[in-house]
Structure 1
Amino acid sequence: MNTSVPHPARVYDVWLGGKDNFAADRAAAEAGLQAFPATVKSVRANRAFLARTVEYLVAEAGIHQFLDIGTGLPSANNTHEVAQAIVPECRIAYVDNDPIVLTHAEALLKSTDAGLTDYIDADLRDPGKILREAARTLDFTRPIAIMLVAVLHFVPDESDPYQIVNTLMDAVPPGSHLVVSHTAKDIFPEEMAAFARTMNANSAEAVTLRDRDQVTAFFRGLDLIDPGVVEVPKWRPRSDLEAAAPAALWGGMARKPA
């Protein structure tokens, strides 16, 4: 682990007010804030989007299994906490590739007695490994929610992120769902272009911004859930205040048809 090189999970932790980060991460986080001052509000809106999607999946779609890839450091309202508060039997497999996240994985494994959580040390660009290891926790004959929240923008076009998503969705049965949030190219475009340049100059993981059509393409072949692909605060917000939060991410959810 090279603590002199910023890692996205730890930079995100800085923006969320966490303490599991190093000087290089804090410097990168500050540089991102200089380029896009609403970054903290944006990442918090994205975290709220995660909670709302999990609530919908458990309470309305009847999904009790989650494959959460690009987990990040434990924070408030982790996927298992939101899901198991509604249905204690929910099962969650978390995936991340940062050693710091791995050292804190026990916080992600505090499952209810009825449910189960697991942690997989893997990279999104190796979906085969993720699927193999997730099978020890999740039943792939039953619907699964694949959560790709604020992670696909770390997969460059040359790594074919669309094929990665297709591989994951091909492995789960009909009735499964896909949740995506993705840093936007066409929301606050000038600020986000500066943000991407700054982050790419200060982090080992480059950011690829994508526009709404490009994010929507991740759901090709799936049935989008209303309201479709929207700015993350506008995906089924709980209040007008929540809906008005500034956020430079597109978000959406879709269901795999029969």
Structure 2
Amino acid sequence: MTDPPFGPATAPGFNTLIMRESDRDVSIRLNRPDVRNAIDEEMVDELHAVCDQLDEHPRILSIHGASGIFAAGADIRQLRERGRADALRGINSKLFDRIAALPMPTIAVIDGHALGGGAELAYACDFRIGSPKTRFGNPETGLGIIAGAGATWRLMELVGRPVAKEVLLAGRILDGRESLDVHLLTELVESDELEDAAERLIEKIAKQGDLALQLTKNVMHAPEGSHPVIEQIAQAVLFETDEKHERMTRFLDKKGGKS
């Protein structure tokens, strides 16, 4: 399968990612097609480097896969050799936590399989767009381990406990339609429409206020019990911004001064 035009890599030091960026957004393509885009430590390091850039210059992030697959999971060859100390390092979980906590919204664009660590990467994103070819699954227990990079709790938050148990304990694979039905996918489109669907969502997000987006995401991820105080603090910050005044003035001007 030939990938749709994605532009050249803007970071020539990357070996496992192709990256395209603008002042509005950053798009990356997982690019290890010979191993079905399996997530190895080099890819983890390169994704951390992307996160460094987005922490410094917050923008919308979209993550795509090469050659008709999102990611078939963690690299089993590396995973087989990992021991207790590696598990306690949280190699993948720390990365996915970091992606989930990025300042601006994130989008996983999924054609084909998102399994194991690939599924957990998608679960860490704020939005997921898929195709009829999309397949979500967590086969870790069949390999004698657990889905230890966020699936055991993120998937329950996304689809509820009963469906999560089917996936995590009984090996259920969710196809694109099923994923949409349980709200794991935000949108379902044909494979050749995925890039356009991602662009439409990016455009919708980009129309919002940057700081309002960042603070809304922070408040949504705030610990239980911190509301409503944290909402009030975030709103207090936003009430004092020039952007709030300018956006509300434009709104009122369009409405002829009526609220």
TM-score (norm 2): 0.29
> Could you say which structure has the greater relative contact order, defined with CA pairs below 8 angstroms and 6 or more residues apart?
1
Please identify which structure carries the higher helix content. 2
TM-score (norm 1): 0.29
Structure number with greater Rg is: 2
